[in-house]
A and B are shown apart, each in its own frame.
Chain A
Amino acid sequence: MGAKVTLRIWRGDAGQGALADYQVEANEGEVVLDVLHRLQATQAGDLAVRWNCKAGKCGSCSMEVNGRPRLACMTRMSLFEPDETITLTPLRTFPVIRDLVTDVSFNYAKAREIPSFTPDPRVGLGEFRMQQVDVERSQEFRKCIECFLCQNVCHVIRDHPENERAFAGPRFLMRIAELEMNPADTADRREIAQDDFGLGYCNITKCCTEVCPENIKITDNALIPMKERVVGRKYDPLVWLSAKITHRTPHDTPAVPVKKD
Chain B
Amino acid sequence: MTDIERLPYDVVVIGAGGSGLRAAIEARQAGWRTAVISKSLFGKAHTVMAEGGCAAAMGNVNPRDNWQVHFRDTMRGGKFLNNWRMAELHAKEAPDRVWELEAWGALFDRTPDGKISQRNFGGHEYPRLAHVGDRTGLEMIRTLQQRVVALQQEDAVRYGDPEAMIKVFAETTITRLVKDGGRIAGAFGYIREDGRFVLFEAPAVILATGGIGKTFKVSSNSWEYTGDGHALALLAGANLLNMEFVQFHPTHMVWPISVRGLLVTESVRGDGGVLRNSEGKRFMFGYVPDVFRAMYAETEEEGDRWYADPEHNRRPPELLPRDEVARSINAEVKAGRGSPHGGVFLDVSTRLPADVILRKLPSMYHQFKELADVDITKEPMEVGPAQHYVMGGVEVDPDTAASSVPGLYAAGEVSGGMHGSNRLGGNSLSDLLVFGRRAGMGAAQYLDWLRGARPSASDAEVAVAQEEAIAPLRRAGGENPYTVHAEVQQTMSDLVGIIRREAEIKTAITELEKLRERAAQVSAEGGAAYNPGWHLALDLRNIMLIADCVAQAALERQESRGGHTRDDFPGMSPEWRKINLICALHGDRVALTRQPMVPMREDLLALFDRSELKKYLTDEELPAVPGERY
Chain A residues with a Cβ under 8 A of chain B: 13, 27-31, 34, 40-42, 45-60, 74, 76, 97-99, 101, 103-104, 108, 111-112, 115-117, 119, 123, 125-126, 128-132, 135, 138-139, 142-146, 179, 182, 184-185, 215, 256-257, 259-260
- Complex Cα–Cα for A13 and B529 (A): 9
Contact, CB under 8 Å: B262 / A55: yes
- Asked if B223 and A52 sit within 8 Å, CB to CB, the answer is yes
Please name all residues of chain A whose beta carbon is closer than 8 Å to the beta carbon of B152 when the two chains form the complex.
Answer: 112
Structural contact, A52 and B222, CB atoms closer than 8 A: yes
Residues of B within 8 A of A (CB): 40-46, 48-49, 58, 95-96, 99-100, 102-105, 107-110, 112-115, 117, 132-133, 135, 137-139, 142, 146, 149-150, 152-153, 156-157, 160-163, 170, 193, 222-224, 255-259, 262-263, 363, 366-367, 370-372, 480-483, 486, 524-527, 529-534
Measured between beta carbons, the chain A residues less than 8 angstroms from B163 are 259
B534 and A260 contacting across the interface, CB-CB below 8 Å: no
| A52 pairs with B256, CB closer than 8 A | no
In the bound complex, what is the Cα–Cα distance between A128 and B530 (angstroms)? Answer: 45
Contact B258 A30 (CB under 8 A): yes
Q: Separation in Å of the A226 CB from the closest CB of chain B?
A: 18
**CB atoms of B529 and A55 under 8 A apart:** no
**Which chain A residue shows the least CB distance to B362?**
A143
Given A40-B482, A40-B533, A46-B532, residue A130 in contact with residue B114 (CB < 8 A): yes
Q: A52-B44, A116-B153 are in contact. Are A142 and B132 (CB under 8 A)?
A: yes
Closest chain A residue, CB of each to CB of B194: A97
A76: chain B residues within 8 A (beta carbon): 370-371
For the complex, give the distance between the alpha carbons of A55 and B46 in Å.
11
Q: Which of B108, B160, B531 contacts A48, CB < 8 Å?
A: B531
* Structural contact, B44 and A59, CB atoms closer than 8 A: yes
Shortest distance in angstroms between B193's beta carbon and chain A's nearest beta carbon?
A: 6
User: Which residues from chain B contact A56 at a C-beta distance below 8 Å?
Assistant: 366-367, 370
Contact of A126 among B41, B95, B257, B262 (CB under 8 A): B95
Task: Give 4 closest A-B pairs by Cβ, nearest first.
Answer: A29-B256, A46-B526, A45-B533, A117-B105
User: Besides the contacts A60-B41, A112-B152, what 15 more A-B pairs have beta carbons closer than 8 Å?
Assistant: A29-B255, A29-B257, A31-B258, A47-B532, A53-B222, A56-B370, A76-B371, A97-B530, A103-B193, A117-B150, A119-B105, A125-B100, A142-B138, A182-B107, A256-B153
- CB atoms of B146 and A116 under 8 A apart: yes
> In the complex, are the beta carbons of A99 and B114 less than 8 A apart?
no
**Chain B residue nearest in CB terms to A55:** B262
Residues of A near B133 (CB, < 8 A) are 139
Closest B residue to A77 by beta carbon equals: B258
By the criterion CB–CB under 8 Å, are B482 and A34 in contact?
no
* Chain B residues near A259 (CB-CB < 8 A): 156, 160-163
A to B CB contacts below 8 Å, 23 in the list:
A42-B482, A45-B531, A46-B527, A46-B533, A48-B530, A52-B46, A52-B223, A53-B44, A53-B46, A56-B370, A58-B44, A58-B49, A60-B41, A98-B530, A112-B153, A117-B105, A132-B117, A135-B109, A138-B107, A142-B139, A145-B138, A256-B153, A257-B160
Give CA–CA (A84, B158) in the complex, Å: 56
In whole angstroms, what is the CA distance A111 to B533 when docked? 32
Q: Which of A40, A55, A108, A130 contacts B532 (CB 8 A)?
A: A40
Find chain B residues with CB under 8 A from A60 CB. 40-41, 44
A108 to B167 Cα, complex, angstroms: 12
In the complex the two chains form, is A129's CB within 8 Å of B530's CB? Answer: no
CA distance A48 to B112 in the complex (A): 48
Q: Which of B40, B107, B133, B525 has the most CB of A within 10 A?
A: B107
Q: Are B115 and A129 in contact (CB under 8 A)?
A: yes
Q: A46-B533, A57-B138 are in contact. Are A257 and B363 (CB under 8 A)?
A: no
The answer to whether A126 touches B525, judged by C-beta atoms less than 8 angstroms apart, is no
Are A45 and B258 touching (Cβ within 8 A)?
A: no
Q: If the complex has contacts A52-B222, A130-B114, A257-B156, are A29 and B527 also in contact, measured as CB distance less than 8 A?
A: no
Is the pair A135, B107 in contact by a Cβ cutoff of 8 Å?
yes
Cβ B533 vs Cβ A55 within 8 A: no
**Other-chain residue from B41, B135, B146 in contact with A104 (beta carbon distance below 8 A):** B41
Do B530 and A111 touch across chains, with their CB atoms under 8 A apart? Answer: no
Shortest CB-to-CB span from A233 to chain B, Å, is 22
| Residues of chain B lying within 8 A (CB to CB) of residue A28 | 256-257
What residues on B are CB-neighbors of A126 within 8 Å? 58, 95-96, 99, 102
Q: From the candidates A49, A50, A116, name the one contacting B149 in the complex (CB within 8 A).
A: A116
- Which of A41, A48, A99, A257 is in CB contact (< 8 Å) with B486? A41
**A125 interface neighbour in B99, B161, B222, B532, Cβ under 8 Å:** B99
A175 and chain B: residue at smallest CB distance: B146
CB distance A97 to B258 under 8 Å? no
Say yes or no: A129 contacts B113, CB within 8 Å: yes
Partner of A74, one of B109, B224, B370, B534: B370
Asked if A146 contacts B43 (CB within 8 A), the reply is yes
CB distance from B228 to the nearest CB of A (A): 14
Q: How far is the CA of A257 from the CA of B138 in the complex (A)?
A: 28
Query: Nearest CB to that of B95 among chain A residues?
Result: A126
Interface centre among B99, B105, B170, B370 (most CB of A within 10 A): B105
Given A34-B258, A260-B160, does the pair A108, B99 have CB atoms closer than 8 Å?
Answer: no
- The answer to whether A52 and B156 touch across the interface, beta carbons within 8 angstroms, is no
In whole angstroms, what is the CA distance A240 to B107 when docked? Answer: 34
Q: Hey, which chain A residues are within 8 Å of B146, CB to CB? A: 116-117
A142 touches B371 (CB 8 A): no
Contact assessment for B99 and A182 in the assembled complex, using a CB-CB cutoff below 8 Å: no
Q: Which residue in chain B gives the minimum CB-CB distance to A183? A: B107
A104: chain B residues at CB < 8 Å are 41
The residues of A that contact B40 with a CB separation of less than 8 Å are: 50, 52, 58, 60
Are B530 and A101 closer than 8 Å at their CB atoms? Answer: yes
Q: Are A45 and B44 closer than 8 Å at their CB atoms?
A: no
- State the CA gap A53–B135 with chains docked (Å): 14
Q: In the complex, A185→B133 CA distance in Å?
A: 22
For A117, the closest partner residue in chain B by CB is B105
Closest residue on chain A to residue B163 by CB atoms = A259
